[in-house]
Structure 1
Amino acid sequence: MHAILHRLELSDFPAITRAQLETLQVNLGYRCNQACLHCHVNASPQRKEMMDEKTIELVIAFLRHRGIKKLDLTGGAPELNPRFRYLVQAAAQMGVHTIDRCNLTILEEPGQEGLAEFLAENRVEITASLPCYLEENVERQRGPGVFATSLRALKRLNAIGYGVTGSGLTLNLVYNPQGPVLPPPQAALEEDYHRELKTRYDIVFNRLFIITNMPIQRFGSTLVSKGQFKPYMTLLKQAHRDENLEQVMCRRLISVDWRGYVYDCDFNQMLGLPLGGGAKPRMHLTDLWHEDLEGRAITVADHCYGCTAGAGSSCGGVLSQ
C-alpha cells in the first residue's frame, strides 16, 4: 500500500479549488458485514474503527452551526455504528436530507431488524450497491449468497415504497466495473437495469449511479499484485476530460473520518491525504467551525483521474454524458 500511495502522490493532476460547502460526508466506521474486491475503504467484518458518541454529537453540532442541509453517511456499513439511528433522527429533526450508502445485505443482519422501516420513516435516501443485475457477476465481486440477499432487500424496500413513483422514497443503485476498465455509459446501462430488474424480479428503483473503481486500498493492491496498476493508471489519465473538473464532488463536500478528522473526499481519507490548504498537516472538524473553505486548494493525486476519466465519476454517478 505504501508503494501505491507513493505513486499517487507524484501527480500531475490539475490544481482545483473549493466551491461553497454543501454536503457533509461522514464515514461512521470501517467495519462492514462484507469484504468486496472493489472496496476502496478496505472494509471488512474484522475492522474495529467506529465513530464514538462524542464525535457524532460534534457532527450534529457542525451541521446545525454551518447550516448544511445534506448529510451523506458511509462506511464500511454505516448502519453497523450503534449510534447510526440516533444521528439520522437528529438530522431529520433539523431538516437535513440524509443519504445512506447501503450495501443491501445489511438489512438481514442480526440487530438490524426494522432498519428499512426506520429509513422510510425518516425519509432517508438510499444509495445501494448492486454491481450487476446478473447473479454470477455480483457474487464474483461481493461473495456467495450476496445476490439473493440483495434481491430480498430490494423487494422489501419496494414493498414499503422505496423506488416507487410518487412515494417520495428514493432508492438509487450503484454500479462498479468488474475490473480495471472504464464503466459503460450511465444512461444506457440504467435502462438495462430498469428493464432487467423489473422483468426478471419485479424490482423498481429511481436512478443508477456509475462509479469508476479507484486504484487504492484493496482494489489498488489487487492491481499491483496482477501487474495491472500502471496500465490502469494510464487508461485513467488518457481518458481525462478537463470539463469534469468543475463538477467533481470534492469541490462541494468534505469527508469526515470516524475520529472527526476532515479530508477533501472519501478517497483522500483512505490515503490519509490532509484537507488541502489547511495550516495543519491534519485538520479536525473542530478546526472548521468558522473557516470559509471556498476558494481553498484541494489536495490532489493521481487517483483523482478516476473522477475525471471519461464521463467522470462521483458519489452521485457520472458528471457528464
Structure 2
Amino acid sequence: MTSLQQRRSPLADPRQQIATLAALNLGTTATQGKFSQALANHGWASLTPAPLEIFQINVGKLCNMTCRHCHVDAGPDRKEVMSWETIQACLRALDQTAAHTVDITGGAPELNPHFRFLVDQCVDRGKQVIDRCNLTVLLLPGLEDLPTWLAARGVEIVCSLPHHRPRSTDAQRGDGTFAKSIEALRRLNTVGYGQGNSRQRLTLVSNPVGAFLSGNQGAMEREWQVSLQQHHGVSFDRLITLNNMPISRYLEWLEQSGNLQAYMERLVNAFNPGTVAGLMCRHTLSVSWDGRLFDCDFNQMLDLEMQLPQEPRPHIQDFDPSLLMQRQIVTQRHCFGCTAGSGSSCGGAIAS
C-alpha cells in the first residue's frame, strides 16, 4: 500500500473526502446525518470548548509504515515534517497555557529530527508527555535506544496495535507487522514499560479491523492482557479503543468494500449524547506540522481549521490563548465517529 497522495487518489484532497460524506443519503437516520441536529436534540446549541488540558502536536506525516486505516495518510513517501521554527513556536505557545499534557503524534513522530529536543523541552516544563508510537519504528537503525531514552524521561508510550492476533493486525498494517510489534513491546517491557509503573506507562490502542464499532474497552483490555501474556510474554498497562474515522485511507477502504453507507448509518444511529461533554476537541488544541491550529486531529486531516474571532487562518506563531474559549468547534459528519457507542477520543472510550 502507498499513500493516497502518492497514488494521486481524489481522496487525497480533504475537500473530496468531505464531499463524499456529505453526498451520502442518510435520510433514514434519526437526524438525517446532521451532527448539529444530533447535538441540538440533546441541548447543545453548538459544540463549545472546555478549559485546555492537552496540547497536541502533529510533528509530521512521515512514517515508516503505510497502514490501511490511517486517517493521516502517512507513509515513507510523505515529506511534511515540522520545522525547528514551528517547534519553537509551539513551545512558546505551550508556555502561555495551563495544559498539563503534551501529546506528540504523526506519522511516526520519532522520525522528526527535532523529536528528542521537543520531548526534553516539554519534560523540563513539567508536562506529561505522550509519544504516539507505531511500535515498529523502535526497531529502525538509530532508534533502538528510544525505549530506554523515553523511559528515563517518564514519557507515556501510546502504541497502535489493532488486534492481539497476528492475522488481524497484519491485515490492517502489513505482513509481518505483528511480529515486529511484539518485539518492540518486549524491548519496552525490558526497560520498565508495562509493569504498572506510572512513570513508564504503556498504553495500547485498538481500532476495529472492519466496518463496525469498537467493543467494550474494559472487557477487551482483560482479553488482550491474558492473550499477549500467555502467547507472547508481553504486558501493558491499559488498552484504549477507537472507532475508525470515516476519512482518508479508511474512507477509501469503506468505499471500495461497499461498506460506506452502512458504516455511516451505524455511526449516526449509535450517537451517544453521554460522549459529548468528554469529546477531545473540547479540551485539546491540535497543531499541524505547518503550525496551523485545529480543534482536533481529525479536523486537521480534513483541513477544517479552528475558527477563532478575528483570525481567519489561525497559526501557532500568532497564538493567543484568550481566543480559544471564544470559539465554536467546527463539526461535520465525520464527528459521528467520536460520538458513536461508548465514544472515541485520543484517550479511548468516553462513556460507559
Q: TM-score, normalised by structure 1?
A: 0.96
Distance in 2 of aligned mates of 1:292 and 1:4: 29
The one of 339, 344, 347 aligned to 1:313: 344
Task: Check 1:12–1:287 CA distance in 2 against 1; reply closer, same or farther (3 A cut).
Answer: farther
Distance in 2 of aligned mates of 1:271 and 1:8: 12
Shift of 1:8: 4.1
Which residue does the alignment assign to 1:38?
69
Task: Trace 1:147-166 onto structure 2 (pairs within 5 A).
Answer: 147-166=178-197
101-110 or 4-13, which deviates more = 4-13
Pairs aligned (count): 321
Shift of 1:186: 0.7
**Is 1:173 the equivalent of 2:195?**
no
**Is 1:125 the equivalent of 2:156?**
yes
**Is 1:12 the equivalent of 2:34?**
yes
Task: Trace 1:235-254 onto structure 2 (pairs within 5 A).
Answer: 235-254=266-285
Shift of 1:157: 0.5
Q: Structure 1 unaligned runs (5+)?
A: none
Q: Is the contact made by 1:8 and 1:301 (CA closer than 8 Å) also made in structure 2? A: no
**Is 1:27 the equivalent of 2:63?**
no
Shift of 1:123: 0.6
SS in 2 for 1:172: strand
Q: Is the contact made by 2:62 and 2:80 (CA closer than 8 Å) also made in structure 1? A: yes
The one of 204, 217, 220 aligned to 2:251: 220
Instruction: Give the AA of the match of 2:34.
Output: D
Shift of 1:285: 1.4
Q: Is the contact made by 1:210 and 1:318 (CA closer than 8 Å) also made in structure 2? A: yes
Distance in 2 of aligned mates of 1:283 and 1:35: 30
Q: Is the contact made by 2:53 and 2:98 (CA closer than 8 Å) also made in structure 1? A: no
Instruction: Give the AA of the match of 2:59.
Output: L
Distance in 1 of aligned mates of 2:66 and 2:339: 26
Distance in 1 of aligned mates of 2:198 and 2:20: 47
**Is 1:298 the equivalent of 2:320?**
no
Q: Structure 2 unaligned runs (5+)?
A: 1-10, 24-32, 40-45
Q: TM-score, normalised by structure 2?
A: 0.88
Which runs of structure 1 show a deviation greater than 3 angstroms over 4 or more consecutive aligned residues?
7-11, 276-281
Which residue does the alignment assign to 1:115?
146
213-222 or 165-174, which deviates more = 165-174
Distance in 2 of aligned mates of 1:254 and 1:177: 26
